[in-house]
Amino acid sequence: MIPLRDSQRPSSYPVVTLALIGCNSLVWLYEVGLGPRLDGFILQYGLTPLRFILAYRFEGGIVDNAIIPLFSSIFMHGGWLHVIGNMWFLWIFGDNVEDRMGHFRFLLFYLLCGIGASLAFVLVDPFSRMPMVGASGAISGVLGSYLVTFPGARILTIPIIFIPYWLIEVPAWIFLIIWFLFQFLGASQASAHGEVGGVAYGAHIGGFVTGILLTWIMRKRPRFRKRSWEEDPF
């Protein structure tokens, strides 16, 4: 299903969500301008599991082969559909998660989800020489957070079997559970056929689970206002 919009309306302006969309878009436009140098750029700043695991053996050491790619890879993309699809999901689901968490906490949450997704990708195939790029893992974390924070919100979607002028509205928890099952089935099928590259299902699953766990850890605690004796002496 393709989401078109959600029923949940944020009470604050999603500055971090818009900034992340802007950063990803600018990096993608930079990639487009590289032309034949793009492959080298992806190899250098994408996350390659083998280089990450054996970072100390490669030129540049741990910083160039592990730490930098861990962050840079989540702002890079491999095609127009890749970046447009990711930014669309971030726009629909990110604003409300940011609204609930707060701006700074949401930015930290997003980056940690991206790291969690990248580490999951490495664990799935630690000796792969195929670099991973894309914000999908971090955005999967946003989806996981949306699931536990706004399960009852409604998502207006285009069904998998497209029929013109036919849109359906489903609860967020149903939409996101279906999305997660597709990731799980995709990962299982890729593993069964020994496929490498393509869609990083392991990163999606890792990011989604990381998002759920971090939401429980990072959610705002309610503020308790100290009462005066005049308000309630007992």
- The predicted-structure confidence for 45-59, as pLDDT tens digits, reads as follows 999 999 999 988 888
pTM of the predicted protein model: 0.86
Q: What is the b/e burial string over 81-95, where b = at least 16 CB atoms within 10 angstroms of the residue's CB? A: ebbebbbebbbbbbb
How many CB atoms are located within 10 Å of the residue 66 CB?
A: 20
- The predicted-structure confidence for 89-123, as pLDDT tens digits, reads as follows 999 999 999 999 999 999 999 999 999 999 999 99
CATH class held by domain 2-218: mainly alpha
How many CB atoms are located within 10 Å of the residue 14 CB?
A: 20
Question: Is 188 assigned a catalytic role?
Answer: no
Give the start-to-end residue ranges of the domains of the chain. 2-218
Q: Pick the catalytic residue from 73, 118, 136, 145.
A: 136
Q: Pick the catalytic residue from 73, 118, 140, 204.
A: 204
Question: Is 25 assigned a catalytic role?
Answer: no
> Using CB atoms within 10 A of its CB, is residue 76 exposed (0-12), middle (13-18) or buried (19+)?
buried
